[in-house]
């Protein structure tokens, strides 16, 4: 897996928009990642929402995650993208990449979908939903106050109802039955500081 390290969708505040390199995997902004979270035992049926900023329009070809392979045989992982709404956060389904059935081995988890998703400049939400509780590689919101809700303020922040976020460094989620992604996002009800680490494939 080719990874763009230390930049993801945002190189650094004020650095200007980078280009996208075909077939490279881009994590969400380094400004909301913390190496303190190595893995996460996901919660059954939990739908995680992870913000991703696109600096310039690009057609992405897939999305990926990575698992530890411990006790996850038969679990199903679904990956998708929702648009951002200034009042609601995750809103309209842009892409349901499909599902990957885990087989108990540690590997890159990438749906076999052959279709693409063209994303315009702005905030998007990467969605991760599990039928079981596989252990996935994780990312953690920064604990020093420079989280995505503050650190990227110069670019516009992905607003979420204040009641949903415990503090400025939280990722929204909702516990809901596993299924194909709904056309309108199931509204997040609370938040957490650690979520699965995911990438968009350019």
pTM of the model: 0.82
Is the pLDDT confidence value at 125 over 90?
A: yes
Whole-angstrom Cα distance, residue 161 to residue 46? 19
Q: Please state the rounded mean pLDDT for residues 73-97.
A: 92
Q: Please give the class, per CATH, of domain 25-201.
A: mainly beta
Q: Please state the rounded mean pLDDT for residues 79-106.
A: 92
Q: What's the Cα-to-Cα distance from 13 to each of 16, 39, 143, 187, 192, rounded to whole Å?
A: 8, 27, 18, 29, 24
Residue 32: pLDDT band (50, 70, 90) is: low
Domain residue extents for the chain: 25-201
């Amino acid at each position: 897996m080719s990874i763009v390290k230390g930049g993801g969708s945002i190189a650094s505040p004020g650095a200007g928009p980078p280009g996208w390199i075909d077939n490279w995997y881009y994590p969400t902004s380094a400004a909301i990642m913390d190496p303190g979270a190595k893995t996460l035992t996901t919660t059954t049926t939990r739908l995680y929402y992870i913000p991703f900023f696109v600096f310039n329009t690009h057609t992405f070809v897939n999305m990926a995650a990575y698992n530890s392979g411990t006790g996850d045989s038969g679990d199903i992982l679904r990956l998708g993208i929702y648009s951002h709404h200034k009042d609601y956060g995750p809103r309209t389904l842009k892409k349901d990449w499909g599902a990957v059935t885990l087989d108990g081995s540690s590997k890159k988890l990438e749906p076999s979908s052959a279709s693409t998703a063209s994303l315009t400049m702005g905030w998007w939400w990467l969605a991760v939903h599990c039928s079981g509780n596989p252990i996935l590689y994780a990312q953690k919101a920064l604990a020093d106050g420079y989280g995505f809700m503050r650190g990227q303020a110069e670019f516009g922040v992905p607003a979420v109802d204040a009641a949903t976020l415990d503090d400025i460094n939280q990722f929204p989620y909702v516990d809901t039955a596993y299924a194909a992604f709904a056309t309108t996002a199931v509204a997040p009800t609370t938040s957490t500081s650690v979520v699965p680490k995911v990438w968009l494939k350019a």
